[in-house]
Amino acid sequence: MSKEDVGITVSKNEDFSEWYTQVVLKAKLADYAPVKGLIVLRPDGYSIWESLRSTFDKKFAKNGIRNGFLPILIPESLLGKEQKHFAGFNPEVFWVTHSGTNVIGDKLALRPTSETLAYTMYSKWIQSWRDLPLKINFWNTALRAEIKATKPFLRTSEFLWQEGHTVHTTQEEAEKEVMKILEIYKNTVEEELAIPVTIGKKSEKEKFVGAVYTTTMESIMPDGKALQMGTSHFLGQNFSKPFEVKFADKDNVEHFAWQTSWGVSWRLIGAMIMTHGDDKGLVLPPNVAPTQVVIVPIYKNDEGKEKVLFKVDEIKNNLESKGIRVYVDDRSELSPGYKFNDWELKGVPLRIEIGPKDIEKQSMVVAKRYNREKAALSCNEVEKISTILDEIQKEMLKNAKEQARKNTTDISEYIEFKSKIEDGGFLNAPWCGKLECEEKIKEETGADIRVIPFGSENSNLKCVYCQEQSVSIPIFARGY
């Protein structure tokens, strides 16, 4: 038996990091590539990404956003046009310096993000107010040298993501776009991945380099660490000016445009694994599961086999006609028990077990992965499977919300803050808005401001660090 056939050998509660790595590898979502910092996405892992991509594409299209493609190489001269932006990414950039044995004149960066390249093109494409708004999304990869330990889906030197770049005639229109995208992100993550998120703004210290401000969605993972799930940035005219993204208005007066950029990555898959997985392995929300239902036929002889497989085929066809993704595990060399464990490890939301005795009773056994409940279901009630999958999706979000609530604490005293942060979790703590306090808290506790939730501004409390008047109640946490 190969190493990857063995189940999860550590508990999620006892060694979260090792548990996570084992789930990724043994559930066959991804594997480590020969180059340090890179991973290979296997079909099930890629299928989850394709599902998310499909959902986002439909929502983007409704918002007037179309897809485009950008090359991966960016000249150094372009990357340096917006100085703050360049300085922020420079330590992480991979550089191409040679073509064969020939030295390249202007070094080429492997895309860490595409603002500079996209806006060089936008400056050519946009002439008049009639060309706006321009809304393009790019599905691609980004490369950033990951100097910390590689963590599949969370910290890799190359990652799959989408990055959207929009251009508008007014500040108001651009800021509305920022919020529309953030809402699309929030709804998709909660509805498809069953992960609750908190949305709000980043602090000045934590915002995207080159942005006027950054909005974000953050989640708390079961190990008490925060994970940034996606960001939507208001760029103002910070890029339109150096890149000369201009338009002539109706009176033929030239103006610099207003811009946004926004993105999510395959980090969302990592969040899903951590939020829902258990000691048996992966637990997939039905909406994104590559296989939603696995049917395991059980029989002892050829006569029983024929009857069972006939019924299994009937059930499979019925489910597939309703758009349910089904797989029949008819591997004859493996025992039913082995198959059950195998599919639990892979996180398939629903398992149907059916044997000769079940057929006599005109029933089947239905096992839910997320809570491991088993129940008998009449073969005449196959249509209920769709409802069961919907219920599983809702229950998984409900459970994740409760898990997040238990991992969130209101704090007003710094002594309590320092003690509580050792347990992990989200800490809601008032803050005066000063960079010095933010930096001191980070320096002394390792916690940073993850998000300033919308509606938490204008607090009447005292800053948790300096005890001066606070301006908001951000969420502090240690993060990935």
Return the H-helix or E-strand segment holding 401: helix 384-406
Q: What DSSP character marks residue 153?
A: T
Length reported for the chain? 480
**CA 371, CA 45: separation in Å to the nearest integer?**
22
Predicted structure pTM score: 0.95
**CA 242, CA 84: separation in Å to the nearest integer?**
12
Q: What average pLDDT does range 424-453 have in this prediction?
A: 98
- Burial letters for 202-214: b for 16+ Cβ neighbours within 10 Å, e otherwise? bbeebbbbbbbbb
Q: Which residues are CB-contacts of 337 (< 8 A; sequence separation ≥ 6)? A: none
User: Does the pLDDT value for residue 321 go beyond 80?
Assistant: yes
What per-residue confidence (pLDDT) applies to 90? 77
What per-residue confidence (pLDDT) applies to 169? 98
Range list of β-strands (E), 129-277: 134-143, 158-168, 198-201, 213-220, 226-236, 246-248, 254-256, 258-265
Q: What average pLDDT does range 262-288 have in this prediction?
A: 98
Contact assessment for residue 461 and residue 413, using Cβ atoms and an 8 Å cutoff: no
Give residue for tokens 């994740």. 400
DSSP 3-state assignment of 333?
A: coil
Contact assessment for residue 259 and residue 174, using Cβ atoms and an 8 Å cutoff: yes
User: Does the pLDDT value for residue 276 go beyond 90?
Assistant: yes
Q: Which two structure tokens, joined as six digits, stand for 64?
A: 């007037």
**CA 161, CA 231: separation in Å to the nearest integer?**
12
Number of Cβ within a 10 Å radius of residue 27: 24
Predicted confidence (pLDDT) per residue in 104-162, tens digit: 988 999 999 899 899 999 999 999 999 999 999 999 999 999 767 789 999 999 999 99
Q: How confident is the model at residue 457 (pLDDT cuts 50, 70, 90)?
A: confident
Amino acid present at 350? L
Q: What average pLDDT does range 310-332 have in this prediction?
A: 96
Q: Which two structure tokens, joined as six digits, stand for 148?
A: 């910390």
User: Does the pLDDT value for residue 3 go beyond 70?
Assistant: no
Predicted confidence (pLDDT) per residue in 219-254, tens digit: 999 999 999 999 999 999 999 999 999 999 999 999
Range from 185-189, 242-246, 364-368, 455-459 carrying the lowest mean pLDDT: 455-459
What per-residue confidence (pLDDT) applies to 86? 64
Conformational region of residue 383, where left means phi above 0, alpha means psi within -120 to 50, and beta covers everything else? alpha
Q: What share of the chain in percent tops pLDDT 70?
A: 97
Range list of β-strands (E), 243-381: 246-248, 254-256, 258-265, 293-297, 326-328, 350-354, 363-368, 374-378
Q: How far is CA 394 from CA 19, 318, 382, 397, in A?
A: 25, 24, 20, 5
- 405 burial via Cβ count (<10 Å: 0-12, 13-18, 19+): exposed
Higher pLDDT, 301 or 175: 175
- Of 189, 372, 347, give the one whose Cα is nearest residue 283: 347
Q: What average pLDDT does range 400-406 have in this prediction?
A: 97
Higher pLDDT, 89 or 413: 413
List, in order of start, the domains of the chain with CATH numbers: 16-276 (3.30.930.10), 293-389 (3.40.50.800), 408-477 (3.30.110.30)
- Of 59, 291, 294, give the one whose Cα is nearest residue 191: 59
Number of Cβ within a 10 Å radius of residue 119: 25
Instruction: Express the helix, strand and coil content of the chain in percent, nearest 5 each.
Output: 35, 30, 35
Q: What average pLDDT does range 266-277 have in this prediction?
A: 98
User: Does the pLDDT value for residue 1 go beyond 50?
Assistant: no
Q: Helices (DSSP H) in 14-128: which residue ranges?
A: 16-26, 43-62, 76-79, 83-89, 115-125
Q: How confident is the model at residue 80 (pLDDT cuts 50, 70, 90)?
A: confident
Amino acid present at 468? E
What per-residue confidence (pLDDT) applies to 82? 66
User: Does the pLDDT value for residue 439 go beyond 90?
Assistant: yes
Q: How far is CA 455 from CA 203, 356, 362, 428, 458, in A?
A: 15, 59, 55, 13, 8
Range from 75-79, 83-87, 166-170 carrying the lowest mean pLDDT: 83-87
Cis ω for the linkage preceding 133 (within 30 of 0): yes
Q: How confident is the model at residue 91 (pLDDT cuts 50, 70, 90)?
A: confident
Predicted confidence (pLDDT) per residue in 282-314, tens digit: 999 999 999 999 999 999 887 778 899 999 999
What per-residue confidence (pLDDT) applies to 305? 85
Q: Mean pLDDT over all residues of the chain?
A: 95
Q: What average pLDDT does range 209-215 have in this prediction?
A: 95
User: Does the pLDDT value for residue 458 go beyond 70?
Assistant: yes
**Chain-centre distance for alpha carbon 82:** 28
